[in-house]
Chains A and B, each alone.
Chain A
Amino acid sequence: MSKDKNTTTDIIEKEYSILNLGPTHPATHGIFQNVLKMDGEIIMDAESTIGYIHRAFEKIAEHKPYYQFTPITDRLNYCSSPINNMGWLLSVEKLAGIEIPKRVQYMRVIIMELARIADHIICNSVIGVDTGAMTGFLYIFQMRERIYEIYEELCGARLTTNIGRIGGLERDFSPKAWDLLDKFLKDFPPALKEFENLLMRNRIFMDRTIGCGGISAERALDYSFSGPNLRAAGVDYDVRVMSPYSSYEEFDFIIPIGTNGDTYDRFMVREQEMWESVKIIHQAIGKIKKEPAGIYHADVPEFYLPPKEEVYNNMEALIYHFKIVMGETEIPKGEIYHAVEGANGELGFYIISDGGRAPYRVHIRRPCFIYYQAYPEMIRGGLLSDAILTMSSMNVIAGELDA
């Protein structure tokens, strides 16, 4: 066979282009780097690099008395710091065997559900922004502001809250806090309805999000997904129900689940969870009314700081104050794991105590860190614009990812 000069038998080698998405790309809402192998607009492969804001929380925890680690947990998932605080406090209380009064447990439930709403507001409205719908984001963010005002009333801070102390809460809900909470509960449902009207059955939004970044239930379980991302794939796993803490077993709520595990399902699961959170808060307020008023911490003087005026006037209180501040409190030896349902998944604290003033070892199960490794698999074969949307709908928070 003679060789035709006009045709070539060499295979043209296909060249992929490498695209560096991040670390500081405005569309990724945080410090995430993904090295993408692109075939035109299609993602062939991706590699995530993380650790840009690693702050060695687990090492720091080995050097701090237990109460000093609470403010550091704020910096995990900073969109819902109170849940992290509560997770840590509940873990330490489990280790020390502290019984928390019912009223305080219900108050904590209110705080945690408010945090969940705040977190879901951010995530869902940002999904809207990434599809090009800025309006919903601006409207619903007022409601997040209202939640932050309640935080301010409860603890004095807005973002990094440090709500709660070992043994209870730092202070009782003030009349103003109850007032703000009532107003919030009145104004939030119509605002959320309005937000849903903008996006939920919006043709553009649905076309954009359905089938985008989906994951099957089997793969999600294999990757140890938890929280709304796992539920969107169709697995009804919720720590609040499976291993209840803080009296969640007394509350009546449903676990919404999706079917496809795609961006739309994740959005819908979060929407529904916000309605459930409102329901839980209403129930908690009802329960608090039946409890004796004025209790906001357990009676554990060796863990809970006494009021300042007693420290100045009472010998016993002064000693306890000194011991707590200097980290001389007796913490039993032991090894515990305690998980709470964080806004984006199962947030667990594993503590080994050797009886010293600081934990011997702390390991934090950070839900983002675990499910973000599925990201390359979820975006492979899709468009770049879908990858952005997938990331925002997975609710990956840099602080928690890198810890």
Chain B
Amino acid sequence: MEMETQLTTVQDKLKAQFGEGLISSEILADYPVFTIKSDLILEVVRFLYNDKELAFHFLTTLAGLHYPENKGQELGVMYQLHSLTKNWRIRLKIFFSINNPVVPSITPVFSAANWMERQEFDFFGIIFSGHPNLKRILNIEDMAYHPMRKEYALEDGTREDKDDKMFGR
């Protein structure tokens, strides 16, 4: 019940402000999840941050996503915001093409997004435009690929001594 209130409240506000920008909203497990047009993410986050009633002032985390089957929408990012005054947690999602993986950075609103976005750039090759220092963070700088993408297997593909038929994915 409480989850429904959270969903409808945030949904109504986003719809009033962004109209078509809000693609869909649903409840997944215990989270209201909103899918948004990818180029609007900075404005949406800023709107939710500045909204007096909701006050989403805490960026819990953000994570890159990769669905190779969704043609044209292969890559994605999910953002989790937390309103400490209301104790509401929501998740925002954006999806965009792997051929042009450019999305606005949310570092102007949250300083914490700096390293989180660098990590997702490192892992998925998502380019956050407006990021002050977008370079690799965990992997070596001259690495030629983005290892968390689904096409890269965990093990070195040239090895023949290991058979993963039975164990693992």
Contact = CB atoms under 8 A, between A and B. Distances in A.
Q: Are A and B genuine complex partners? A: yes
B147 interface: yes
A243 B87 contact: yes
B7 to A, nearest CB: 15
A54 B139 contact: yes
Interface string B62-78: 01011000000000001
Contact of B138 (A242, A243, A339, A402): A402
Contact of A358 (B139, B140, B169): B169
Q: By DSSP majority rule, is chain A's interface helix, strand, loop, or mixed?
A: mixed
A335 B29 contact: yes
Given A222-B112, A350-B63, A337 B148 contact: no
B166 A59 contact: no
A337 B27 CA distance: 12
A156 interface: no
B116 interface: yes
A38 B139 CA distance: 27
Contacts of B136: 51
Given A224-B60, A336-B29, A350-B61, A327 B167 contact: yes
Given A337-B91, A402-B138, A222 B166 contact: no
Interface in B19-68: 28-31, 33, 57-61, 63, 65-66
Contacts of A60: 154
B116 A370 contact: yes
A400 interface: no
A243 B169 CA distance: 33
Contacts, number: 103
Nearest to A370: B112
Interface string B133-153: 000111110000001100000
B61 A51 contact: no
Contacts of B112: 222-224, 370, 373
Interface stretch (A25-33, A288-296, A361-369, A380-388): A361-369
B148 A63 contact: no
A155 interface: no
B123 interface: yes
Given A335-B33, A370-B112, 14 more contacts: A51-B137, A51-B138, A56-B154, A65-B168, A219-B111, A222-B110, A224-B112, A337-B91, A348-B60, A348-B61, A357-B169, A370-B61, A373-B114, A374-B111
26 contacts: A50-B137, A56-B147, A58-B123, A60-B154, A63-B154, A63-B169, A222-B112, A223-B112, A224-B58, A224-B59, A224-B61, A242-B87, A336-B28, A336-B31, A337-B29, A337-B60, A346-B60, A348-B61, A350-B78, A350-B80, A358-B168, A361-B63, A363-B63, A370-B61, A370-B112, A374-B111
Given A56-B147, A63-B154, A243-B87, A223 B111 contact: yes
Contact of B58 (A221, A350, A357, A358): A221
A326 interface: yes
Nearest to B166: A326
Interface centre among A326, A346, A373 (most CB of B within 10 A): A373
